[in-house]
Structure 1
Amino acid sequence: MTMVPRGLADLIDSCEVAAVIADTGLHGTPLVVANHAFSRMTGYPVSQIVGRNCRFMQTGDAAATARKRIHNFVHDDPAMQDQFIVPYTRRDGTPYLNLLHLVKMIHPDHPMLVLGIQFDITSQSISELKRSSATMRYHMRLIEKLMLAEGWSLEPATIDIEDSLERVALCAS
C-alpha cells in the first residue's frame, strides 16, 4: 500500500507542469500519482497511467539506455536528484524528447517515493520551457514544505532549464 502524504496528490495535480510520483516499494516502481498536465503531454488519461511505470511510453534503443540510467539512479545512486533525456511516444504515436527531473523522497518508515517533473523539449519553445521551469520551482517549494512537515526528506529541486538545454546542445554537437 502506497503512503502518499496527505495533500500531496492534490498539490501535484494543481501543477501546470507534468509531474508524477512513483513508489519504489511496489513491484516495477509504478506511478501512484500523475497530474493532468502529464496526461495532456502524453495523451494518456490519468486512469491509464497510474499503476504503470512510464517505461510503456519509452521506445527504442536510446530509451533503453535512459531506462538503465534511471534504474541505476533510483536503486543504486546516493544522489537525491538527477536529470535524464528520455525519448517518449505519445498515445497517438508521436515521438518526443522528455527532459525528466527526478527527486527522491525518503521517509524512515515508508518505501522511497520518486517525484518526476517532466518537460517536452521537442515541441515547447525555450521561453515556454523557462516559464514552466519557474512555475515548477514555485510548486516545488510547496511540495518540499508539505513533505518536510510529514517527516519526509528531500533536497530542494534544482530545475534549471537553461543549463539542461545547454547540456543537450553540447551532446548534440
Structure 2
Amino acid sequence: MSQIDAPIHDPQDLPPALERYFERSRIALALSEVGEDVPLCLVNDAFLALTGYTREEVLGINCRFLQGEKSDAEDKAELSRFVHDDMRDSGRFHVLNYRKDGSTFHNLVFMSRLRDEDGVTRYMLASQFDMSPVLDRARLDSNDVTLARNLSDIDKIAKEYGLAMISSAQLIADSISLIARLSVPRT
C-alpha cells in the first residue's frame, strides 16, 4: 500500500452535488484525483461495505491496494494502461480484488474520466460491482438499468460543474454484453 503523506485534494473542491450523489448511491463508487499516483479522494458507503475498509484507510492512496497475489497481471496492466492513456474516456475492467479480511471478489470496474471545460481530466470515477455470484437474468436486467441511471445522474451532476463524461452510452452497451456473457454458466 503506497501511503501519501498528505492528500493533494482539498475536500472543499469537490462539487457538493457529486458528494451528495455518492452518499445516496448503493453502487460502490470511488473517485480518484488525477495527479501523483491517482489517489482516492472520495468513496461511498457501498465501496466501504464491498471492500471492508474505512474511509481513513483508503483516502489519499491508489486503489491498487485492493489487488493481491492472485490478481491477474494482464488485468492489472489493462487498468493501468487506461489510467495513463488520456485519450480513452471510459473503460471496463475485470480485476480479482481482495477485501480487508483477505477474501477475494471478482470486481467489474467501470471507469470514466471527468474532464473540465478545457478537456483536461480532473478526476476518474469508478463504479464497482462484485461479479462473484452467478447472476440470473432478472438481476442482470436490474443491474443494467441501475448502471444506466447512475451514469446518467453522474453525467448531469458533472456537467453542472463543467466536467464531462464522454462515451458512456457505448460503455453501457458494451457492459450489458459482458455481464450477459459472465452470467452464462460454463459447461
Q: TM class by shorter-chain length? A: 0.7 to 0.9
Indicate if the aligned counterparts of 1:87 and 1:96 stay in contact, CA closer than 8 A. Answer: yes
Seen in structure 2, the aligned counterparts of structure 1 residues 169 and 140 have a Cα distance that, compared at 3 Å, is: closer
* Secondary structure at 2:16 match in 1: coil
Which of residues 172, 175, 183 in structure 2 aligns to 1:159? Answer: 172
Rate the CA distance shift 1:65–1:20 in 2: closer, same or farther, 3 A.
Answer: same
What percent of counterpart residues are identical? 25
User: Quick one: distance in 2 between partners of 1:40 and 1:124?
Assistant: 20
- Alignment check: 8 A CA contact 2:71 2:97 kept: no
For residues 11-51 of structure 1, what are the alpha-carbon distances to aligned partners after superposition, in whole Å with 9 as ceiling and x for unaligned?
A: 122111111111112x2111111110111111112221221
Q: CA deviation at 1:112?
A: 2.4
Structure 1 residue 75 displacement after superposition: 1.4
2:16 is matched with 6
Pairwise CA distance, 1:62: 3.8
Distance 1:36 1:130, change over 3 A: farther
How far has the Cα of 1:145 moved from its partner? 0.9
User: Structure 2: any 5+ residue segments left out of the alignment?
Assistant: 1-7
Q: Secondary structure at the match of 1:91?
A: coil
Amino acid in the other structure paired with 1:139: N
Q: Size of the alignment, in residue pairs?
A: 171
Bigger radius of gyration among the two: 2
Does residue 118 of structure 1 match 2:128? yes
1:19 is aligned to 29
SS in 1 for 2:155: helix
1:136 deviation in Å?
2.9
- String of CA shifts for 1:46-74, please: whole Å, max 9, x gaps: 22122121111101354432222112112
**In the aligned structure 1, how far is the partner of 2:120 from the partner of 2:179?**
35
**Aligned residues: CA RMSD:** 2.5
Q: State the TM-score, normalized to the length of structure 2.
A: 0.79
Q: Return the offset for 1:155.
A: 1.8
Measure, in 2, the Cα distance between the counterparts of 1:14 and 1:136. Answer: 14
- Structure 1, unaligned runs of 5 or more: none
State the 1:77 CA deviation.
5.1
Contact 1:17-1:132 within 8 A present in 2 as well = no
What SS does structure 2 have at the residue aligned with 1:151? coil
Cross-structure match for 1:103: 112
Say if 1:124 and 1:51 are closer, same or farther in 2 by CA, change over 3 A.
farther
Q: What SS does the corresponding residue of 1:51 show, helix, strand or coil?
A: coil
Residue 169 of structure 1: how far off its partner (Å): 7.0
